[in-house]
A and B are shown apart, each in its own frame.
Chain A
């Protein structure tokens, strides 16, 4: 059953700590994306990768880092430099049609 798996689903961290969110896909897709959802602000693009070993900053990349060492994996690290990290994070990969994205279940990060 092909899909995108995000983990953990819920995560708590203390201020000043880095945290890494996992995103794994078995769709054999080249492209992968990370979005952030905040109430009333829709989905905003953090980073995206079109192919292994390559990635680009999205609209709100500051305070985040990614890697793309394997096609199946696109982990996102929320660093201590991110001023407001509490949010719902979504990993996605393109489907067939233009603009159509297949999303994971999301990870909710709460900074205490």
Chain B
């Protein structure tokens, strides 16, 4: 059974600090891992992805780390900004796209 878990429903961070959002998965056959960002009453938008052959991918303030031995994925946002406040979903693509439950990030000025 393919499972994706985001065990922290919420995270609060001070502006300028690092935000770390975590995601665990169970199926090692996934090919791609993705992060989506969602504001209230809007559709999610694709943020960043990483292939299972890599362990890091960086795009500006956003870096995704993949630890295959631990079956763990994390998204780092540095420095965090108030506009980053949103719900973040991790997702795994390996046949079909499976989403985690989401983590609501709040960045306080």
Whether the Cβ atoms of A99 and B49 lie closer than 8 Å is yes
- Contact in complex: A43, B99 (CB < 8 Å): yes
Given contacts A40-B101, A43-B99, contact A99 B44 (CB under 8 A): no
A97 CB-CB contact with B under 8 Å: yes
Whether the Cβ atoms of B45 and A103 lie closer than 8 Å is yes
- Beyond A42-B99, A99-B97, whether A106 also contacts B43 by CB under 8 A is yes
Q: Is A72 interfacial (CB 8 A cutoff)?
A: no
B contact residues vs A (CB 8 Å cutoff)? 4, 6, 9, 31-34, 41-46, 49, 89, 91-93, 96-97, 99-102
Q: List 16 A-B contacts (CB under 8 A).
A: A6-B43, A42-B99, A42-B100, A43-B99, A45-B96, A45-B97, A95-B46, A97-B49, A98-B32, A98-B49, A99-B32, A100-B34, A100-B49, A101-B46, A102-B46, A104-B43
User: Given A40-B9, A42-B100, A99-B32, A106–B41 Cβ distance below 8 Å?
Assistant: yes
Nearest CB in chain A: distance from B96 CB, A: 7
Please count the residue pairs between chain A and chain B whose beta carbons lie under 8 angstroms apart in the complex. 57
Cβ of A68 under 8 Å from chain B? no
Given contacts A98-B32, A100-B34, contact A42 B101 (CB under 8 A): yes
Chain A: interface size category: 20 to 34
A84 within 8 A of B: no
**A43 x B44 contact (CB < 8 A):** yes
Binding site for B on A (CB under 8 A): 4, 6, 9, 40-45, 88, 90, 92, 95, 97-106, 108
A92 touches B91 (CB 8 A): no
> Shortest beta-carbon distance, B77 to chain A, in Å?
19
A108-B89 in contact (CB<8A): no
Choose one: B42, B45, B91, B101; the contact of A99 (CB below 8 Å).
Answer: B91
**Are B93 and A98 in contact (CB-based, < 8 A)?**
yes
